[in-house]
Amino acid sequence: MLYRLGQIFCLGLVSHCTFGSVGNSEEEKLVILQNLIFFNNNQTIPVGTNLRSYDDQADDNLNQFSLSSNGNTYNITIQSGTYIHWETGTYRINPPNQTLGVSTSSSEKSSNAVSKTHTPYTVPLDLPADDLYGKTYPFLTTAVVSNITQFNGTMETGASFLYPNTRTANLPLGVVAIANVSWEEIYIQLTIQRTLPTAGAIQNYTILLSQGNKSIIPKCKIPIKVGRNSNIEILFSLSSLMQDRTSSGVTTRFLNDTYAEADGSVISKVSNVDLYNILQQNLQAEDITFSFPGCFPGVER
């Protein structure tokens, strides 16, 4: 493809440039460089998102899974009345580290034209909100989504549910720095039965998680580049929401402690608050309930 950059003609994005009539070859190269950086900084491409519910049971039953808690094994069934009222979902994008040896953003370039360095992902740059790399880019629309355990896709661990309220965003070239999701309400109806070491009764519970948000941090580079052919993946795990977790030497046991409550109990910010706080901790813990997939050689993330 032929690009015209002022009086400079370039084939492709970087090489095979034909010089114009500036006269001084060094000035010509500088003009080419400046135009290429401007072109790179102002190019956006459409990228979709797969917001995906899953469990790690390697089967097609997203509404049923087994977890251990305090040495006991419990079977959990998520009921059809479960829903999530999503509010927003946005990305921040960081520029690539460098373009042709100089910073890709004028705000990152020092006075002597030596490139500054920054973390290429996980740390959004402190830039004005009208800068391509200072903006937030929405990928999720407000919606109440039910039937979230009726699988409609697959992934490495088996069946998954792809949320239908995602949207395609025009993102600048670079890497994903961070994603943020927020919800008005997460409502879960479930049954729990202890199966080991001794069988117990099937008991019903309701979980009501009020308005909240979560920042999701990549653990590897998720490139936004010309030629990208897959959606960005964001994972949400209901089973991980309920798992035991040890932090700072303290172990929280959601299922074991929930099963000790009466049949029909409600877990919310005003009832069974200790159990509610365990869920909030699992929601906010890094790579527990919300996560980006890990990176593997040859797999585009």
Q: Does residue 82 sit in the same domain as residue 167?
A: yes
Could you tell me if residue 297 is inside a domain?
A: no
13 is in which domain, residue-wise? 1-42
Could you tell me if residue 238 is inside a domain?
A: yes
Q: Does residue 12 sit in the same domain as residue 74?
A: no
pLDDT: which is higher, 32 or 184: 184
Most confident of 106-120, 145-159, 243-257: 243-257
How far is C-alpha 196 from the geometric centre of its chain's CA atoms?
A: 35
Q: Does residue 182 sit in the same domain as residue 161?
A: yes
Question: Please, which residues have CB within 8 angstroms of residue 41's CB and are 6 or more apart in sequence?
Answer: 95, 104, 105, 132, 172
Identify any residues that bridge with 218 across adjacent strands, giving them in sequence order: none
Q: Does residue 1 sit in the same domain as residue 55?
A: no
Question: Please, which residues have CB within 8 angstroms of residue 4's CB and are 6 or more apart in sequence?
Answer: 10
User: Can you give the pLDDT at residue 294?
Assistant: 79
Largest CA distance in the chain: 87
Q: In the numeric block, which tokens belong to residue 209?
A: 């998680």
Q: Which of 173, 170, 153 is nearest to 222 (CA)?
A: 173
Could you tell me if residue 298 is inside a domain?
A: no
Count of structural domains within the chain? 2
End-to-end CA distance of the chain: give it in Å, rounded.
27
Q: Does residue 177 sit in the same domain as residue 231?
A: yes
Could you tell me if residue 296 is inside a domain?
A: no
Most confident of 2-11, 99-108, 159-168, 287-296: 159-168
Could you tell me if residue 198 is inside a domain?
A: yes
Record the pTM: 0.79
Q: Does residue 29 sit in the same domain as residue 107?
A: no
Residue identified by tokens 């303290």 is 250
Q: How sure is the predictor about 116, in pLDDT bands with cuts at 50, 70 and 90?
A: very low
Q: Does residue 110 sit in the same domain as residue 135?
A: yes
User: Can you give the pLDDT at residue 216?
Assistant: 96
**Alpha-carbon distance 182 to 145, whole Å?**
14
Q: What are phi and psi of 241, to 5 degrees?
A: -60, -30
pLDDT at 2 over 60: no
Going by the DSSP 8-state scheme, the letter that residue 116 receives in this structure is P
- Per-residue pLDDT tens for 184-216? 999 999 999 999 999 999 999 999 999 999 999
Q: Does residue 203 sit in the same domain as residue 160?
A: yes
Q: Does residue 14 sit in the same domain as residue 95?
A: no
Percent of the chain with pLDDT over 70: 75
Q: How sure is the predictor about 40, in pLDDT bands with cuts at 50, 70 and 90?
A: low
| Residue 127 contacts residue 136 (beta carbons within 8 Å) | no
Could you tell me if residue 151 is inside a domain?
A: yes
- Per-residue pLDDT tens for 177-189? 999 999 999 999 9
Q: Does residue 97 sit in the same domain as residue 245?
A: yes
Q: Does residue 124 sit in the same domain as residue 4?
A: no
Could you tell me if residue 112 is inside a domain?
A: yes
Q: How sure is the predictor about 147, in pLDDT bands with cuts at 50, 70 and 90?
A: confident
Q: In the numeric block, which tokens belong to residue 40?
A: 């790179």
How far is C-alpha 53 from the geometric centre of its chain's CA atoms?
A: 12
pLDDT at 85 over 90: yes
Could you tell me if residue 256 is inside a domain?
A: yes
Q: Average of pLDDT values for 273-280?
A: 96
Q: Does residue 242 sit in the same domain as residue 174?
A: yes
